[in-house]
Amino acid sequence: MSRKSQDQQADIAIDDNWVITIGMALLFAFIAFLLGWSIRNLLFDMVAYGVLHRVRNGWFDVLSYAMGAVYSFLFAYSFPAKPLKIAFSLLGAKYQVLVAMFYIHAGAGGQHSVAIAGAIASQIAYTIILFAIAQWFKTRLRPIPLENPGVSDS
Pairing of strands 141-144, 11-14: antiparallel
- pLDDT tens digits, residue range 123-132? 999 999 999 9
Question: Looking at the domain assignment, is residue 7 inside a domain?
Answer: no
Question: Looking at the domain assignment, is residue 11 inside a domain?
Answer: no
Distance CA 69, CA 98 (A): 9
Greatest pairwise CA separation for the chain in angstroms: 82
Question: Looking at the domain assignment, is residue 28 inside a domain?
Answer: yes
Q: Which of the residue ranges 54-58, 107-111, 116-120, 146-150 would you say has the lowest mean pLDDT? A: 54-58
Domain that holds residue 75: 16-141
What is the reported pTM? 0.76
Query: What are 60's strand-pairing partners?
Result: none
Q: Please count the structural domains in the chain.
A: 1
Question: Looking at the domain assignment, is residue 2 inside a domain?
Answer: no
Question: Looking at the domain assignment, is residue 154 inside a domain?
Answer: no
- pLDDT tens digits, residue range 10-39? 677 777 788 888 999 999 999 999 999 999
Question: Looking at the domain assignment, is residue 147 inside a domain?
Answer: no
Q: 65 near 98, Cβ under 8 Å? A: yes
Question: Looking at the domain assignment, is residue 72 inside a domain?
Answer: yes
